[in-house]
Amino acid sequence: MAPTIKDIAKLANVSHTTVSRALNNSPLIKEVTRKKIAEIAAQVGYVPNYNAKSLVMQRSYTIGLFFTSIANGTTSGFFSDTIRGVNSVIDVEYNLFIRGIDDYTEYSSIHRKRFDGIILMSQSEADNKFIYHVVQQGIPIVVLNRQIDDRSIINIISNDREGAYNAGKHLIEAGHQDIAIIEGVEGFKSTQERRDGFIKALIDHNIPVRNDYMRSGNYDMQSGYEAMGKLLDLEKPPTAVFCSNDDMAIGAMKSVFERGLQVPNDVSIVGFDDSGFSLFANPSLTTVKRPIEKISEQGARRLLSLIKEPIENDVLISIDTEFIARESVRKLSK
Amino acid sequence: MAPTIKDIAKLANVSHTTVSRALNNSPLIKEVTRKKIAEIAAQVGYVPNYNAKSLVMQRSYTIGLFFTSIANGTTSGFFSDTIRGVNSVIDVEYNLFIRGIDDYTEYSSIHRKRFDGIILMSQSEADNKFIYHVVQQGIPIVVLNRQIDDRSIINIISNDREGAYNAGKHLIEAGHQDIAIIEGVEGFKSTQERRDGFIKALIDHNIPVRNDYMRSGNYDMQSGYEAMGKLLDLEKPPTAVFCSNDDMAIGAMKSVFERGLQVPNDVSIVGFDDSGFSLFANPSLTTVKRPIEKISEQGARRLLSLIKEPIENDVLISIDTEFIARESVRKLSK
DNA sequence: TAAGGATATCATAACGATTACCTAGTCACC
DNA sequence: GGTGACTAGGTAATCGTTATGATATCCTTA
């Protein structure tokens, strides 16, 4: 069986209390005995039993990383970038627990004893119920990706509205007037932010907002494909389309090509996210880069320090997006 | 504070032992008391403390999902499909712990007390050291994606060799003679399997294997792009290229387009994986579908039953790949 | 009716750590 | 040389469960 502190105590001829203290670098222990104990521990390959530790310390050594949903509306790139970001910060002494909120019908298993802290990559306002529960349980939480009103919660977001605004502006400045938007999952905050930014760009440049140029999608390629199909069926199809994420943009392109049309010659397309393949699409996709991995890293870091010392200091960090011009937009020479 | 079985015991006027038994549906408890206790538990919102439970049960309620690496050579789609697959099987009472093997310099923190079982999505032979450690610790393990020799370990793989063979065969039957391959990360078993299958197809059809038609890559788009560049620089470029995964195929296409050439008119391309965007690429990518999500689901299910009753019954499950013909291959009429 | 056997429950000891509180030794100082 | 302070370490309680061996009650049955 795996050695415990008692085994070490016997070998070192001290009490297990001393061993515990020595291993935790308590000042109550003489340097020489501390060293001896550390040596023995290493020799027998001692590893602390985290369950016992957790039980008495009332800590779990577990960080929960939650998504609104793992199965729906979460693209692979988004998902894995998030995990990569968090993973790179959290060290191996922590368990990283990953789940979708929609895996739960009720939240009773989410409580303080089980999670030292929670990172929520939030996409929907429906998550508020979850957030409320977590806060009520007194679990430190950091909410990423979606702005929430409660200013006592650490909140890290990307400035999607501005990003979408820039995308719209870019199209307008390229001479486009008939610009459509393909939107994301209904109910997702990001969907709304991007729509708002886009529309503001239109309004600021005195371009009428046409209802039939606003198409709903759900962030996956197929939905982009279908939405673009409908746009192209219009009597007067748009000359440019802003897609609320890259996946839908890829789907939209597909639809354009299938009708024998060209991107950007016949239709210009802008995406959002700068996911891995946007550079390698043909033509490469003009898009808005959203720093998911950065946001996740930041979030994890903040959470860790929040766990260490629970100071509430009203944090809302907004990380700017970056417009990336590539080949999918045509400049209209009017 | 959260209620414990002792609190419930007081309320129910029984000993905490009885409560524990009642909650675990022990036959030693009368139905009527069991019901009463269950009611009270529900009323006070009792949730078991898993740390205490784990401590005495010597179980962790944690499943480890390990990758060869999370940062390198693991594409987003692969990564997230795996997690999705596992996630859909493992229920919420378990913790799902996700890490890359290369996050560890030594494995002492990986032991029985911490993991009830481990799922390894293995890509490299270098993982054997890890597997050995896990086995030695007596932790139930299921290895996915890469065949291992030790037949006492449950092993679920996709038949990559055959898949690659079919890809090669398809190209040959379409009339191609000058066929190149862009390979995956060196040292990954999948790289080798796909190469072997591909080469076998060539040999079986009496097509000479040319050294300069074998290019190394590392499974990412950029490497596919670069490798294709080199192929096109050859005096006699290939008319078809088999890319060891879809990401590289996308990169390769990009390279073709940049030179003003067309896929499939000038160069035919086949990928591997059937990742999300292969259908939406332009042209859509002919590829070999590898059922990652199925493999992961299967793996998780097997692990769960292995944990329940540790019977070693020599399991090697090979899930077939599926060839998917789309638009990126041209039929040569010779 | 007393012994024997179920049946239902209880008291207590684990599990492996941390920690509040105590104790033995040493030294300094009056 | 006795008192107090300090040092280094030990004793025992504790965290919330489950497991083990009593124990009390009731029902059979000879």
Its domain, for residue A40, covers 5-48
pTM: 0.87
Same domain, B303 and B207: no
Distance from CA of A77 to the nearest CA of B (A): 5
- pLDDT at residue B31 is higher than 90: no
CA B252, chain centre distance (Å): 24
Alpha helices in A14-60 (DSSP H): 16-23, 31-44, 50-57
Q: Which candidate from A76, A83, A254 shows the least CB-CB separation from B276?
A: A76
Q: Does B104 touch chain A (CB under 8 A)?
A: yes
- pLDDT at residue B20 is higher than 60: yes
In this prediction, residue B1 carries a pLDDT of 67
| Token pair in block for residue A48 | 């602390």
Does the CB of A9 sit below 7 A from strand C? no
In this prediction, residue A334 carries a pLDDT of 56
Query: Per the CB < 8 Å rule, is B251 touching A280?
Result: yes
Same domain, B178 and B109: no
Closest residue by Cα to residue A9 from A42, A45, A40: A40
| Token pair in block for residue B269 | 């391309």
Same domain, A172 and A205: yes
Say if residue A264 is preceded by a cis peptide, omega within 30 of 0. Answer: yes
The Cα-based distances of B320 to A208, B65, B152, B188, B290 in angstroms read 54, 23, 22, 19, 8
> Radius of gyration (Cα) for chain B, nearest Å?
26
Does residue A327 sit within a domain? no
Same domain, A184 and A248: yes
Q: Which residues in chain B (209-238) have CB-CB distances under 8 A to chain A? A: 221, 225
Q: Is B123 exposed, middle or buried (0-12, 13-18, 19+ CB in 10 A)?
A: buried
Q: Does B253 touch chain A (CB under 8 A)?
A: yes
Return the axis-axis angle of helices A16-23 and A5-12, rounded to nearest 10°: 110
Winning range, highest mean pLDDT, from B28-37, B245-254, B273-282: B245-254
Same domain, A106 and A87: yes
pLDDT in tens, B137-149: 989 999 999 988 8
In this prediction, residue B161 carries a pLDDT of 95
Q: Is B45 exposed, middle or buried (0-12, 13-18, 19+ CB in 10 A)?
A: exposed
- pLDDT at residue B334 is higher than 80: no
Query: How many Å does it take to go from CA B114 to C1' D11?
Result: 30
SS3 A115: coil
Does residue B11 sit within a domain? yes
Query: Per the CB < 8 Å rule, is A254 touching B100?
Result: no
How many C-beta atoms surround the C-beta of residue B100 within 10 A? 18
Query: How many Å does it take to go from CA A30 to C1' C26?
Result: 15
CA distance B313 to A28: 53
Does the CB of A1 sit below 7 A from strand C? yes
How many C-beta atoms surround the C-beta of residue A295 within 10 A? 23
Residues on chain A touching B282 (C-beta within 8 angstroms): 253-254, 257, 281-282
Distance from CA of A79 to the nearest CA of B (A): 7
Any idea what DSSP says for residue A16?
H
Q: Which residues in chain B (158-217) have CB-CB distances under 8 A to chain A? A: none
State the distance between the two ends of chain A, measured CA to CA, in whole angstroms: 80
Could you say which residues 214-233 of protein chain B have a Cβ atom less than 7 A away from any atom in strand C? Answer: none
- pLDDT at residue B18 is higher than 80: yes
- Confidence band of B151 (pLDDT split at 50, 70, 90): confident
In this prediction, residue A96 carries a pLDDT of 87
- Characterize B199-213 residue by residue with b for buried, 16 or more Cβ atoms within 10 angstroms of its Cβ, and e for exposed: bbbbeeeebeeeeeb
Distance from CA of A283 to the nearest CA of B (A): 8
SS3 A176: coil
Query: Per the CB < 8 Å rule, is A111 touching B77?
Result: no
CATH number where B16 lies: 1.10.260.40
Does residue B9 sit within a domain? yes
Q: Does B70 touch chain A (CB under 8 A)?
A: yes
Picking from B43, B51, B69 by the largest number of A CB atoms within 10 A of its own CB, the best residue to mutate is B51
Same domain, B151 and B296: yes
Does residue A99 sit within a domain? yes
Q: If you count DSSP H runs as helices and E runs as strands, how many of each does chain B have, helices first?
A: 11, 12
Is B133 in contact with B123 (CB distance < 8 Å)? Answer: no
CA distance A154 to A151: 7
Does residue A56 sit within a domain? no
Query: How many Å does it take to go from CA A44 to C1' C18?
Result: 21
In this prediction, residue B144 carries a pLDDT of 96
Any idea what DSSP says for residue A15?
-
CA distance B219 to B246: 8
Residues on chain B touching A77 (C-beta within 8 angstroms): 76
Residue of least CA–C1' distance to C13 = B56
Does the CB of B52 sit below 7 A from strand C? yes
Could you tell me where the beta strands, DSSP code E, fall in A38-111?
Answer: 62-67, 95-100
pLDDT in tens, B64-77: 999 999 887 788 88
pLDDT in tens, B97-113: 888 999 888 888 888 88
Q: Which residues in chain B (271-300) have CB-CB distances under 8 A to chain A? A: 276-277, 279-282, 284
Does the CB of B58 sit below 7 A from strand D? no
CA distance A105 to A111: 15
Length in residues, chain A: 334
Nucleotide with smallest C1' distance to residue A46 CA? C16
How many C-beta atoms surround the C-beta of residue A204 within 10 A? 12
In this prediction, residue A125 carries a pLDDT of 86
CA distance B183 to B199: 12
CA distance A6 to A41: 11
Q: Can you tell me the mean pLDDT for B103-129?
A: 90
Query: Per the CB < 8 Å rule, is A251 touching B87?
Result: no
Could you tell me where the beta strands, DSSP code E, fall in A210-267?
Answer: 214-216, 240-243
Which nucleotides of strand C lie under 7 Å from a protein CB?
7-12, 14-20
Same domain, B300 and B281: no
Token look-up 């560890």 returns B104
CA distance A146 to A203: 24
Token look-up 């119920």 returns A129
In this prediction, residue A209 carries a pLDDT of 93
Tell me the pairing of strands A287-289 and B179-183: unpaired
pLDDT < 50 positions in chain A: none
| Token pair in block for residue A249 | 């943009």
Q: Can you tell me the mean pLDDT for B172-193?
A: 94
Tell me the pairing of strands A287-289 and A322-324: antiparallel
Per the rule left: phi > 0, alpha: psi between -120 and 50, beta: everything else, A25 is: left
Could you say which residues 38-67 of protein chain A have a Cβ atom less than 7 A away from any atom in strand C? Answer: 48-49, 52-53, 55-57
| Token pair in block for residue A55 | 């039980």
Same domain, A264 and A210: yes
Structural domains in chain A (count)? 3
Closest residue by Cα to residue B127 from B77, B185, B182, B183: B185
Distance from CA of B205 to the nearest CA of A (A): 33
Same domain, A177 and A93: no
CA distance A203 to B77: 38
CATH number where A76 lies: 3.40.50.2300
Does residue A174 sit within a domain? yes
Residues on chain A touching B95 (C-beta within 8 angstroms): 62, 95, 97
Query: Per the CB < 8 Å rule, is A100 touching B93?
Result: no
Backbone torsions φ then ψ of B111, nearest 5 degrees: -145, 175
SS3 B213: helix
Is A26 in contact with A37 (CB distance < 8 Å)? Answer: no
Q: Which residues in chain B (106-135) have CB-CB distances under 8 A to chain A? A: 108-109, 111-114
Does the CB of B49 sit below 7 A from strand C? no
Closest residue by Cα to residue B293 from B141, B152, B89, B137: B89
| Token pair in block for residue A212 | 């039939």
Q: Which candidate from B70, B96, B280 shows the least CB-CB separation from A98?
A: B96
Q: Which candidate from A70, A279, A281 shows the least CB-CB separation from B87?
A: A70
Does residue A15 sit within a domain? yes
Same domain, A174 and A284: yes
Nucleotide with smallest C1' distance to residue A28 CA? D8
Query: Per the CB < 8 Å rule, is A55 touching B51?
Result: yes
Is B23 in contact with B53 (CB distance < 8 Å)? Answer: no
Closest residue by Cα to residue B140 from B59, B85, B36, B256: B59
> Radius of gyration (Cα) for chain A, nearest Å?
26
Q: Can you tell me the mean pLDDT for B10-36?
A: 89
CB-based contacts of A71: which residues, under 8 Å, 6+ apart? A100, A102, B84, B88
| Token pair in block for residue A327 | 């080949």
Does residue B331 sit within a domain? no
CB-based contacts of A43: which residues, under 8 Å, 6+ apart? none
Does the CB of A25 sit below 7 A from strand C? no
Q: Does B69 touch chain A (CB under 8 A)?
A: no
In this prediction, residue B109 carries a pLDDT of 83
Query: Per the CB < 8 Å rule, is B221 touching A279?
Result: yes
Same domain, A154 and A298: yes
Same domain, B210 and B306: no
